[in-house]
Chains A and B, each alone.
Chain A
Amino acid sequence: MEVTSLAAKKKAAVKNKAANDRAIIAAQALETIAGEIYQDLSKKEIPSMTIPTRTKSNIEFDERHRVWKYGKNLSKRSAKTLDGAYMLLRTMYMTDFIKEMIDAQKSSTLREMYYISEGWDMAKFGDQSESDNLAEDLEIISGHLREDFKLRPEENGASVMGNLTITEFTRNGVARDLHCQDDVGDTGYNIPYNVEKEKITFKNVDADFVIAIETGGMYARLVENGFDEKFRSILVHLKGQPARSTRRFIKRINEEAGLPVVVFTDGDPWSFRIFASVAYGAIKTAHISEYLATPSAQYLGVTPSDIVNYDLPSDKLTERDVAALKAELTDPRFNDEMWKNEIEFQLQLGKKSEQQALAKYGLDFVTDTYLPEKLAEIGIL
């Protein structure tokens, strides 16, 4: 495992080259964006740029990939207004920055870029979410992933525990095999930000299904209770709203190893959105839904019905919870029988429960009773 063969190194070099080429192509795509603005200016036109509207009202179901993607609505950013002009200026600054970074063969985190943008004078962002958003805009316009722009998220993906072996190419270009039970600590294997083939491959997978878990507490409970071993499952900790790499990882394992995926979260509107981003695609990243979403993923719980059926300890819905639930009723991704019933039921119930409320019946209840029952219900066990 520790051995670095020449062949492996060579393989890594080829893979790195692939990544670099992608970056260069991405840089060219960015130049096209600048070129369009420049052309407008040369033609004495007020410069503008169009991108798909990135709101829930503009997402459509893509039959081919069975995920939700941006629809046909376009937003125009024109230098006619000050806000529009600022957006164009920021776009130019970011394009310039990324281009220089690619030329210099460097990369940066989104946060680093945000701090660098503090020096962009009037093109400064209000906060990091604005610069993150613009990076996503650039993905959409250029058709390239931000990883190709050498931009990566701050935090890594979450953790994995289960009977699978991953081959990871380390930063030294060495391929290492890691068994996600034997070679890792109790927290499991840490998903890197890049989960593309040049970084990891699945060498061997011996499990029946993937269970994605929202909270760290529940993930630890399943690890401690040996749920991965007892039920031949792969545990993935989502860490709240899952990072792109986590979603991409789940999708790859689903497609490449043919494992069904179930999602186990708290029973509140925010958790339903976590599920939606895993299964249908998130609104923010709808341009790459087919790349991130796992359409076959199923929601396991905690459902609003579970709160009643299992008589779980619960909290009252807050005003924000209620508003979020109502918003979900008009969200096309939740427009199916199951979700409509559950959401309406929860509004009526006025309550929400956490995953860990299951501990009411003892520490083993979740692994011995709840999960087997729920898994059987959806036909996985």
Chain B
Amino acid sequence: MGCTSLRYRPGWFSRTRLERDPMVPEPIATELAKKQKEISVAEFFERNKQVLGFDSPTRALITAVKEAVDNALDACEEANVLPDVYVEITPVEGTEDEFRLIIEDNGPGVVKRQIPNVFARLLYGSRFHAIRQTRGQQGIGISAVVLYSQLTTGHHALITSRIAADRPTHCVELAIDTKKNEAEIVSETRPEWDKAHGTRIEVQMVARYVAGRQSVLEYLRSTSIVNPHAHIVFKDPKGQVWDFERATDVLPQIPEDIKPHPHGVERGTILKMARETKARKLSAFLRTEFSSIGSRSGKEILDKAGLKDAIKPKDLDRDQIKALHGAFKQVKVMAPPTTCLSPIGEQLTKRGLKKETVDISPEFIATATRPPAVHSGHPFQIEVGIVYGGKLPKDESVKLLRFANRVPLLYQQGGCGLTKAIEGIDWRRYGLEQRGGRGVPNGPAIFLVHIASSKVPFTSEAKEAVASIEEIEDEVKRAFRDCARHMSRHLRKKEKRAKTSEKFKLISQVLPRIAEKSAKVLEKPVPDLTHIICKIMDVVWIEDKIEYERWEGSEPPEGPKAYQPKPAKKKEAAVGQTTLLVEEESGLEVATNGHVEKSEGKPKGIWITTSTIEVTNYMLKSRKFKLYAIKPEGVVMTEVEPKPSAVEDRYVVWDLPKLGSTEKATLKFSFAGLQKGDFDDNELFVEGINDINVVGADEWHGGD
């Protein structure tokens, strides 16, 4: 079977399987034996092409881009470099359905010896055994792309890679021997390359390029949202260049490998671990090879399993393993460590959404990152975002963007647990339309949901949908409710303000003119309007604005010491992922040193965000109350005016002086530690006054 000369036609594989002389009878066993040999990777591929994501030319192209981009991002992050990924798709001249696909990254590269294995051998990868959040897992992805390309066009893949500036660049032409699942190097060169390190893949495949929800462009745009540290450039088949810029220069925290958690291991794994461990006693085996087992819980497990500590792990038999597995489920142990996770963080998710929705000019974006949680022994963390308003269609169903470990999930929306969680929320309470209070709501919104986990429970190998798991769905719901509350507060405030701003116009412009004109007709003096203005308004009016100012210098301006955040624990800082890294000794330090310097050409300096709040009492009586302004956590306060009664992690609170009729108070707080536009919506609350009488703030409930 000369694969290289064959062109892709649907059904081609099934026909080739019959390619033997059917007229000659053979003993069954011989025939079987022959068949057994003939199961080539080509056949494996054909049988699994749906699972592998190559079941249509359209999908094949998206999958190919996805596999290569996922790998590029994984590799860059592992090597601690800010990813620069270039994707190019060009139609092949003289064909109708062939495209050339190039994906290039600035990652660590692949050593020459490994190139054939990595790119042309199925089930060869570096992450299969790792327990931590990664995009790739199975060691199939990129070889499947190379195989598909070869099978459909006969063209070999061209891999270029360099691992360091002082090393040569290797360019290798790879062919896959589909019978042996082996790679052959057809040719190799050492070209010049302007990159110090990186990898470039070039393949030619039968494909179809489309636009829309399920497309390469949408995949890259979505990828860019949840990977705001990546810079992705895409040249589409028409030659148009799409530049998905970086929204941050800070790399995500590198997730650490963790050991299996007792609640998440299968019996086979326990058996394998027992065979391989260096521990001599069972208690030591449990303590050293699993996460979260201490000596007390270890002993308890052994008791429950009825096993003696002295048993050598290597000697455990099947029944004993079974007993151990059973005991794991019964004993309470600590949750697994969450250092294997690397969530995007609220600020960066927001920044990612913001930059990719500029054309829509949404009126509101909220994001939430939940604390880590656990599903059957595997840590996971949920992040969500809501983009609302602007040019988004009002009467269509909300657009969902689903992600697992920073990879967009484009297919199987309906069968995904993340979708089910969204459908299970009564969105009508938050001002969206939803028939019967179930299902994906309608309204001008985009929902983002991301699950980060050391093991994302996909419904199938195709990694398209997350299984329905209660713990996960609960977390998704919690996160969305959090965001949605924020959203509905914003909408209510806006509505109230729109209503009252009419009155504002009335008292500030129309009424004074009525007074003037009537006085003119009568040739009398213009009457004083203060009292009437309050009668008409009858509210306390709060207006706010947020401004950003660049502070030249690497240290923020000296702020009042009393208002600074308490030194955060290192772990929290990692979860938050803001640009402000909090170091333990000094208490404060803005992340300018290490990270900003890395990005070439960007000026030094920090953004100072200033929020100004103006309170006017348009009521007949004087008023006295407290005003709370929510501030981002972990930022460095540079100014708070006037003297607040307290500055907490989450808010600033003022005890306002008594405001007489039409009297005004201006409040202000500034901080460093966020980029321009990160903090763009003031959330204000009042205490000690009925919020019916207040426009621009809600009642304080302890700041849920």
Q: Which of A's residues lie within 8 Å of B, judged by CB? A: 30-31, 34-35, 37-38, 41-42, 44-47, 79-82, 85-86, 88-89, 92-93, 95-96, 99, 121-123
Contact = CB atoms under 8 A, between A and B. Distances in A.
30 contacts: A34-B518, A34-B521, A35-B522, A37-B518, A38-B515, A38-B522, A42-B527, A46-B532, A46-B536, A79-B506, A79-B511, A79-B532, A79-B536, A81-B502, A82-B502, A82-B503, A82-B505, A82-B510, A85-B506, A85-B510, A85-B511, A88-B514, A89-B510, A89-B513, A89-B514, A92-B514, A92-B517, A95-B521, A96-B520, A122-B513
Nearest to A31: B521
Contacts of B521: 30-31, 34, 92, 95-96, 99
B211 to A, nearest CB: 42
Nearest to B521: A34
Interface of A is mostly: helix
B129 interface: no
Interface of B: 502-503, 505-506, 509-511, 513-515, 517-522, 524, 527, 529, 531-532, 535-536
A122 B514 CA distance: 11
Nearest to A30: B521
A31 B522 contact: yes
A80 B500 CA distance: 11
A232 B515 CA distance: 59
Given A42-B527, A44-B531, A82 B506 contact: yes
A215 to B, nearest CB: 44
A96 B529 CA distance: 21
A119 to B, nearest CB: 14
A123 B510 CA distance: 8
Contacts of B524: 38
B502 to A, nearest CB: 4
Nearest to A92: B517
A37 B506 CA distance: 16
B532 A44 contact: yes
A102 to B, nearest CB: 12
A41 B510 contact: no
Nearest to A34: B521
A308 B599 CA distance: 89
B515 A41 contact: yes
B460 to A, nearest CB: 56
Given A85-B510, A86-B510, A41 B522 contact: no
A122 B517 CA distance: 13
B662 to A, nearest CB: 13
A378 B188 CA distance: 112
A41 B529 contact: yes
A34 to B, nearest CB: 4
A318 B530 CA distance: 55
A160 B521 CA distance: 42
Contact of B518 (A41, A46, A122, A123): A41
A46 B513 contact: no
B496 to A, nearest CB: 15
Contacts of A80: 536
Contacts of B509: 122
A45 B515 CA distance: 12
Contacts of A41: 514-515, 518, 527, 529, 532
Contacts of A85: 506, 510-511, 514
Nearest to B526: A41
A351 to B, nearest CB: 40
Contacts of A82: 502-503, 505-506, 510
Contacts of A121: 513
A47 B519 CA distance: 13
A45 B511 CA distance: 12
Contact of B532 (A45, A88, A89): A45
A35 B515 CA distance: 11
A137 to B, nearest CB: 16
A141 to B, nearest CB: 14
Most buried by A among B505, B514, B532: B514
